[in-house]
Amino acid sequence: MTSLPVDSIAQVWAATSAQGPFSGDAWIGPSFQPYAGSAQLPSGELTLQWSAPLNGTPPIARYWRILIYSTTRFYFQMRRVLIGRRFSPARNFSNGAAFGVRDLGTADFSRRGVLLRTRGAKLRTVGLTFSSLYKDELEEKLQPLLEYLGNTEMLALITDPDPHAQRSRRTFYGQLVGEVGSIQRRAGAWQAAINLVSLM
């Protein structure tokens, strides 16, 4: 999405039945400041993040409404809305996170030393290792998620959700690459590695 005024306020609504205009009973979340940071993605966009409160989580809903308002007139564009289940492990990912670029273009030289180059998209990549997962969170949440994702489904990965100038650049959305799974490192500790190629 494009930038929002600094005084913007947002709110999320959820409805469980056919309430297009949300005129009936609906879950209404608390207002929050949709701070997306100042560092833009390579596309020039920013990401707005909202996490459901741990207490008062919205019900499973068919209809969702996102309200964004400000004291000043403004215009913004939103390209993609992601809604899904959140998983946040009790222990953070280990040191040694890897951030890189996958260049989809090609470059070579002809027999006469002429550069043959075809430019392509340059996608951000991220690799994280969770080396101290609890058995219950792995079996109940993460492993079923990995089995669903495989290498073809899409995943939103946020390395740090706290408000920060780099908040948008800490957000990734794409597919997992390489082996997808987990291993038991020792008694009471499991490990899973996440390697993702981001489309944003």
Query: What are 119-173's pLDDT values in tens digits?
Result: 999 999 999 988 888 888 888 888 998 999 999 999 999 888 777 888 888 889 9
Assign 151 to helix, strand or coil.
coil
Could you give the CA distance from residue 135 to residue 96 in angstroms, rounded to a whole number? 23
Q: What is the pLDDT of residue 49?
A: 80
Looking at per-residue confidence, does 103 or 47 come out higher?
Answer: 103
Average pLDDT over the chain reads 84
Non-local CB neighbours of 88 within 8 Å, separated by 6+ positions: none
Burial of 20 (0-12, 13-18, 19+ CB in 10 A): exposed
Give Rg (Cα) of the chain.
20
Q: Is the pLDDT of residue 19 over 70?
A: no
**pTM confidence score:** 0.80
Q: What is the pLDDT of residue 117?
A: 95
Q: CA torsion 169→71→78→36, rounded to 10°?
A: 10
Domain boundaries, the chain: 1-83, 98-198
Q: Of the candidates 56, 55, 52, which has an alpha carbon nearest to the alpha carbon of residue 66? A: 52
- % pLDDT > 90, the chain: 24
